[in-house]
């Protein structure tokens, strides 16, 4: 290389070094050590002891709570993510209408997103209270029937958390608003000339043009739902009650690692969670080739 090329290469490496160093220190090293500890019995107090794949054998064949926590997480993901996306998109379409006070309405729907998670969880504990909560009081006043037990009932606890998850749709809603604003108006004009109604314009124009935004919100929603922890920890005192119906995967991982100090077992759970999230994300990205349309295509 010439002298100028060597200098440019050196400068490029110097500028890239913070990211490279951060990647290895914050991501690569913890991931490698998680795998190493997953093959050991380690409780922080005593030195780790090599046990091979025993932690994985316990998880897959001897621990029913592992499968229960995985089922709870998948159940929550299967309902909260698509329903949340549909609600966020519907709100975005309503808030994209040119009406007086549009900015105020957008702010109101976005405000719950910036409320601290712990504070909103405590608020929802009152809303979902089976005896005198706001939701059951409203149901009784309108329909004249007693509402379900919500968090006190194993059959209603997960639907209650799914309902609570809609509280934070303001984030994806704002992203949908940006995507809707980017749809070319000329396409709607052509659709009007062809005599298309609102539903056909939504199906044939709006929906295909915002599929990249849907993909982004879908991936982020999947990752967040698999790591659902803070809300259920606050609302159940970290116990996952009743009858383990709210024992989500991240909560069970936390209990094994920091309640029981079984770091090796927790590391095995963390690695499995990483693989599940990776598989789900890769699957969505592969399938996106069939349904995501970019403006330049």
- At 16-62, the pLDDT tens digits run 999 989 989 888 999 999 999 999 999 888 899 999 999 999 999 99
Task: Tell me: do 11 and 148 sit in the same domain.
Answer: no
Give the residue numbers spanning the domain of 31: 1-37
Cα 137 from Cα 97, distance rounded (Å): 33
Mean model confidence pLDDT for the chain: 91
Task: Tell me: do 124 and 252 sit in the same domain.
Answer: yes
Task: Tell me: do 26 and 164 sit in the same domain.
Answer: no
Task: Tell me: do 148 and 86 sit in the same domain.
Answer: yes
How many structural domains does the chain have?
2
- pTM above threshold 0.85: yes
Would the pLDDT of 296 be above 60?
Answer: no
Confidence of residue 297 (pLDDT cuts 50, 70, 90): low
Tally of residues, the chain: 297
- Structure-token pair, residue 87: 């609600």
- At 91-113, the pLDDT tens digits run 999 998 888 888 898 989 999 99
- At 219-231, the pLDDT tens digits run 999 999 999 999 9
Would the pLDDT of 295 be above 80?
Answer: no
Task: Tell me: do 263 and 201 sit in the same domain.
Answer: yes
Task: Tell me: do 73 and 6 sit in the same domain.
Answer: no
Task: Tell me: do 203 and 262 sit in the same domain.
Answer: yes
Q: Which residue has the tokens 């809300």?
A: 231
Task: Tell me: do 187 and 265 sit in the same domain.
Answer: yes
Would the pLDDT of 83 be above 80?
Answer: yes
Q: Which residue has the tokens 């080739």?
A: 289
> 55 lies in a domain?
no
Cα 277 from Cα 250, distance rounded (Å): 12
Task: Tell me: do 261 and 201 sit in the same domain.
Answer: yes
The whole-number average pLDDT for the span 5-26 is 90
The whole-number average pLDDT for the span 234-256 is 92
- At 124-165, the pLDDT tens digits run 999 998 888 889 999 888 888 888 889 988 999 999 999 999
Task: Tell me: do 10 and 104 sit in the same domain.
Answer: no
């Amino acid at each position: 290389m010439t002298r100028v090329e060597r200098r440019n290469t050196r400068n490029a490496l110097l500028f890239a070094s913070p990211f490279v160093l951060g990647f290895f220190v914050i991501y690569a090293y913890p991931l490698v050590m998680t795998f190493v500890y997953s093959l050991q019995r380690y409780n922080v107090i005593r030195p780790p002891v090599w046990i091979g794949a025993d932690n994985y054998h316990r998880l897959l064949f001897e621990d029913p709570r592992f499968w229960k926590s995985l089922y709870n997480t998948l159940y929550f993901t299967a309902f909260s993510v698509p329903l949340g996306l549909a609600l966020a998109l519907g709100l975005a379409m309503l808030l994209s209408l040119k009406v007086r006070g549009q900015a105020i309405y957008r702010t109101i729907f976005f405000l719950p997103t910036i409320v601290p998670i712990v504070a909103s969880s405590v608020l929802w504990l009152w809303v979902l209270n089976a005896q005198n909560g706001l939701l059951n009081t409203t149901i009784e006043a309108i329909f004249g029937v007693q509402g379900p037990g919500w968090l006190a009932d194993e059959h209603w606890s997960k639907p209650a958390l799914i309902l609570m998850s809609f509280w934070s749709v303001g984030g994806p809603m704002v992203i949908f608003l940006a995507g809707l604003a980017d749809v070319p108006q000329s396409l709607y004009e052509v659709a009007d000339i062809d005599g298309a109604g609102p539903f056909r314009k939504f199906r044939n124009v709006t929906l295909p043009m915002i599929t990249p935004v849907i993909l982004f919100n879908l991936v982020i929603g999947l990752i967040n739902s698999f790591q659902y922890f803070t809300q259920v920890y606050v609302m159940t005192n970290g116990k996952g009650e009743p009858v383990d119906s709210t024992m989500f995967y991240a909560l069970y991982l936390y209990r094994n690692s920091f309640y029981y100090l079984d770091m090796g077992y927790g590391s095995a759970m963390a690695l499995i969670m990483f693989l599940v999230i990776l598989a789900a994300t890769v699957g969505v990205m592969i399938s996106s080739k069939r349904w995501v349309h970019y403006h330049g295509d």
